[in-house]
Structure formats: C-alpha cells, structure tokens
Amino acid sequence: MATPSSAVASSSASASALSSVLCPALFITAPGSNHGKTTVTAALARWHRSQGRRVRVFKTGPDFLDPTILERASGNPVYQLDLWMMGVAECRRLLHEAAQQADLILVEGVMGLFDGEPCSADLAELMKIPAVAVVDVAGVAQTLGAIGYGLAHYRPGFPLLGLLGNGVASPRHEEMLRQGMPHGVGYLGSLPRNLQFKLPERHLGLVPAAEVADLDQRIDAAAALIGETELARMPAPVGFIAPEADASALPQLLAGQRIAVARDKAFSFIYPGNLDLLRQLGAELVFFSPLRDAVLPQADSIYLPGGYPELHLQELQGNLAMKQALLGHCAAGRPLYAECGGLLYLLESLSDKDGARARMLGVLSGRAVMQRRLQGLGYQSIALPQGTLRCHTFHYSTTVTALTAAYTGERLYDTSAGERVYRVRGVTATYLHAYFASSPEAAAALFLPSPEIEAPA
C-alpha cells in the first residue's frame, strides 16, 4: 500500500517532499500507435488485481475509449492525464490522490513515446515514472535492439527500463529478438501472436468495453501470460507530489443546480474529471439514456456528451418521447451543453457513412453526414467571457448549417480556423470536447441560465 514519504523524510525536507506519497508505478509506452499498449496495460492491471492489489490506471491524452478497457481490467475508474489540456497541477493532483489509495499505478502513453508536444516522454519524465515500451515485433528480429537503443537514448537520461515484444511468432523468433538487445536495455518478455488478445476497433479507436462480449476472457488470457514475464514484477516506488492548489476550495458556482447527463452506448465520451468538477462546483448529477428512456429526469440543465449516435440512428429517431422531452427543455430556454455526438443529435438529421439517414432533434438547423476519413483532430481552446476552456476534437462527420458561430476554437499548432461553437438561446453546442478543470468558471457558465454566454460584439 502507498506509504507517506514524510515518514522517512528528514526534518530539513521541503514542504513539497513532505506532501509526497510513495507508490510503485510504471509507464507503458511504445514506438507508435497500434503496438498493443492498451492490451499490455490491461493485462498487467488484471494480473496485479488477481494478486489482490489495488491498481489505478491512467491514460495519457484526450482518449475516451481506451479507459473503458482499462477500467474493466483494473476494477477502478480511469482518468486522463494531459499536460496541455489539464495542466501539470491537475495531473499531479490525480496521481497524488491515486497514490494514497493504490498499491500500484499504471499509466498508458499515447501514440509513440516522443510523438506530439507535449509527448508521453514529457509526462513520464516530469512525474518521474519509469517506462517500458511495448513493440509489435511482427517482421522484426534483431533490429528490436536498435529500436530499444533509440528509445533509450533519443532523450538522454530518459528512464526506460526495457522492452516487451508483442506478437512473437515462435521460440526461435524470441531468441532472435533477445540476441539483438543492447547492453542496458532489458528484454522483459513477450506476448505471443494470438488473435485471442486482439481488441476490436472501429472508427475513433477501440470498441468500448461494454460492447465487447468476451472482453474479460481476452484480458484474462493476456494477463496469465503477462504474469510469466519480468514486466509483472512490482516496479520501484515513485514519490507523487501534491499540487499546491486545493480543489476543495472551488467556488460553489453550481450550488443547487441539477444537471442531467446523457450516458449510454450512443453518448459515452465523458471525462470522469468533468463530472467530478461539476460536483465540486456544487451540482447534483443525474443520468439518463436518450436511447432507452421516455422521460428526462427533473433537471435545471442538460449535458449531451459525445459518442456514437451514428451507430444508433433508428433508436434515436424512434424514441419520440425523449425527443419531445428534450425539445421542451430547449423551448423553455433552459441550458443545454452538447459536445460532438451531442451536437449531431441536436441537428435536424444525421446520416451514417453508408448513406442511411435519420431525423434527429432539430433544435439546431442543419444536418450532419459521417465521412470515411477523419475530418477534425487536435487541441483547441475556446475563449469565453468567464475564462478559456482547453479542448480536443476528433470526428469523422461534417455538418451543413446556416447557423453563425458565436465563438470559434483556436487551434494549438496551426493558424487554420478551429471548430465552431454555436449558441441558440440556452443551447451551446460544438464539436470540441472541453476539459472543465481548465476553467471552472467557464465550465459552470455552460450550465447556468444567467449570466448568459454572449458572443463578443
């Protein structure tokens, strides 16, 4: 179990050191996407859980799908860690809180170790978490050593413990992999080439855990083999430092407010940290399903998150009672905030990539059509009067609408126009997924009838 480092700290230790907590931790990374990071992280979490340990897992970057797999594997909520969208202090806070409860912390990286800015390596290095790299070794033999050497030395001093080969074809294949490993970079074992472990995918990423019928069997099978590798050994403790900011001191901007949050297979892209923040601001949260429910829970405002409405066109079109309830809420001018899939649901119609079309709510004029190629990706921010929300976008649809944007997102890395933010009476809708803790005041304003979020003159 986590141990306060202050118990062994000298009297001259700094205040930050005294507020740190020790907990074994490991950062799971790779040379790029699709090497099996999520499979290995889930297997490792399940293996340690089977040994009676409390495991907390985090996912680097603005990912909604991998965390569903990792939550199933670990049995505990999975939060995102993102240095730009959330900030260093929020990342520190989440890790520090987890370290007080967990026997082991696992962090899954995003894309390749050095991809992006900030990248996975920045997070691992800043939090002082030792890393291991998962490498898909299909078609690779002794060259694995060169990959390991490059990952270990690309950034001097980076704490790479070693590599795990994913997709090893035979004992002879593994022998060749070991032959190529350079001194100082460990070979930690392997998973065999086996479709039994493969996690199913669709557009946007992995299929959510709730939709994979045999997910637990897949994770268990991989966990049994991970348990035979050196990767399964408990890593060294890491000191997780508490941030100076105190989340409990947030103003109660949403005190007395009841927010109805859509949550089902069509609307599931929700950062757990967003729900936490709404509660910390004083809101009471209730949940409903636009797919199944006939009535809205009694609420002052509504949160329609992203998800996969395009996969549930007929159910959404056919649930007339829910559509009428939502239309009534909006007609009364009560607040509703919608992100990505929630935006698509508010439009007049939505068509899937095969051309099947269904009527949506019609709260906003216009239509959306799913495309076969990615249409929007990257970090953006929205500057509102109450503050600037940091966000991310990732979508395959395009919209056609005559609506004028109240705001436009500002991209982090280029000068092209960002995603639009529409404002119609109490409704705010955008493709952007906001991280609420980046501006609690701006987040609260999305769910309040007053003060209004007005477009700048």
Indicate which residue of 119, 330, 340, 391 is catalytic: 340
The secondary structure of 28-91 as a DSSP string is EE-SSTTSSHHHHHHHHHHHHHHTT--EEEEEESS-SSHHHHHHHHHSS--EEE-TTTT-HHHH
Q: Give the whole-angstrom CA distance, residue 361 versus residue 443.
A: 24
Task: Tokens 């409405």: give the residue.
Answer: 309
**Coil/strand/helix, residue 334:** coil
Q: Is-contact 137 175, C-beta < 8 A?
A: no
Residue 413 contacts by C-beta under 8 Å, 6 or more apart in sequence? 117, 378, 379
Q: Please name which of 339, 389, 338, 345 lies closest in space to residue 367, comparing C-alpha atoms.
A: 345
Contact 290, 267 (CB under 8 A): yes
* CA 85-95-256 angle, 5° bins: 70
Residue in 176, 226, 282 with CA at minimum distance from that of residue 73: 226
DSSP string, 388-407: EEEEEEEESEEEE--PPPSE
What are the CA-CA distances from residue 100 to residues 3, 70, 105, 437, 450 (Å)?
A: 8, 20, 11, 21, 39
Are 110 and 63 a contacting pair, CB within 8 Å?
A: yes
Rounded CA separation 216/214 (Å): 6
Going by C-alpha positions, the residue among 455, 448, 409 that lies closest to residue 432 is 409
The span from the CA of 391 to the CA of 85, in Å, is 6
Q: Does an H or E element contain 280, and which?
A: helix 272-280
C-beta separation of 313 from 348 below 8 A:
no
Q: Any idea what DSSP says for residue 311?
A: G
Annotation marks residue 340 as catalytic: yes
d(CA 124, CA 126): 6
Q: CA–CA separation, 327 vs 156, rounded Å?
A: 58
Catalytic annotation, residues: 340
